[in-house]
Structure 1
Amino acid sequence: MNAQRSARAAVAAALVFCTGCAASPRPSPPAPVAADAAAARRAVVALLDHGAAAWNRGDLAGFVSDYAFDATFVTRDSVIHGRPAIQARYAPRFAPGGVRDSLYFQDIEVDVLAPYALNAIAYYVLQRGDSVTARGPTSLVMRRVGGRWFIVHDHSS
């Protein structure tokens, strides 16, 4: 009987001890310092300004140059894979005589996910004269490659 109690006590002690030995979850990565977040926001604003400027001057190649070659673009009714397909989707608006209102972005929010990845949320606005012709949310996942940010996923509606 004492042997059984001793064995049970040993097993209980081992279980208590081993739960402390279990692998602990990896700690969360440290939050980016404010300077990194500020730099990321400046980079996103510059990228969106670059895209809007290219759009507004009718430069389709310049507009899509901010997309990664393997980017995905999601709209309310389609999923488009790859920069060439994204360019083909926009091509009719850039054709001579095509209608293309002025583009700008507002209410830009940036969330740094890693030193090489971020998510940006904003509103795109298309305007003709003083009239807003379209406005909607856009969510952009971006990846830094070789010091340059690229859009890898664009969900706009």
Structure 2
Amino acid sequence: MVKNGLIALLLIAAFQVQAVPTDDIAQVLSEQQDAWNRGDLDAYMQGYWHDEKVRFVSGKKFRYGWEETLAAYKKNYPNKDALGVLSFSINETKMLSNYAAIVVGRWELKRVKDNPNGVFTLLVEKVDDKWVITHDHTSD
């Protein structure tokens, strides 16, 4: 009886439920949304890979680099009125491996003067044990 109980305990320990990576990835976007809505672009950028190779594609432009992107955000969104209230909705997260996923969704900004919105496709990768966006393609 003890032997069977020990085997069962070992099996339970070996197959403990782990957090689903899609939940961790959704948390990154949730934290970004919250940071944006607080007006904290520095915290918003923590969801991105802090590297010169991080890539942003929007409209007809390509932008590379974490620092350059943060500077562009601060220039284009200089105050709370310009930032508005951001909301993300994730339509699909497709795991490509244990360390990479494609996330497809919608974004929307609610501001006093307008209500821009669009879609995004993100490549999210696990770098140094943290899920970060390494490629962001956003459009209206």
Q: Are residue 71 (structure 1) and residue 54 (structure 2) matched?
A: yes
Residue type of the partner of 2:31?
H
Query: What pairs up with 1:44-83 in 2 under 5 angstroms?
Result: 44-68=25-49, 69=51, 70-83=53-66
Percent of aligned positions that are identical: 26
Say whether the 8 Å CA contact 1:125–1:132 is kept in structure 2.
Answer: no
Shift of 1:45: 1.3
- Relative to structure 2, which stretch is displaced further, 91-100 or 143-152? 91-100
Aligned pairs (5 A) from 1:120-135: 120-128=103-111, 133-135=115-117
Flag the structure with larger Rg. 1
Unpaired segments ≥5 residues, structure 2: 1-16
Q: Whole-Å Cα distance in 2 between the matches of residues 112 and 144 of structure 1?
A: 11
Aligned to 2:9: none
Q: What number of residue pairs does the alignment pair up?
A: 121
Secondary structure of the structure 1 residue equivalent to 2:83: coil
Does 1:143 pair with 2:111? no
Give me the CA root mean square deviation: 2.2
Give 1:92's aligned residue.
75
Provide TM-score, normalisation by structure 2.
0.77
Q: Which segments of 5 or more consecutive residues in structure 1 lack a partner in the other structure? A: 1-34
Q: TM-score, normalised by structure 1?
A: 0.69
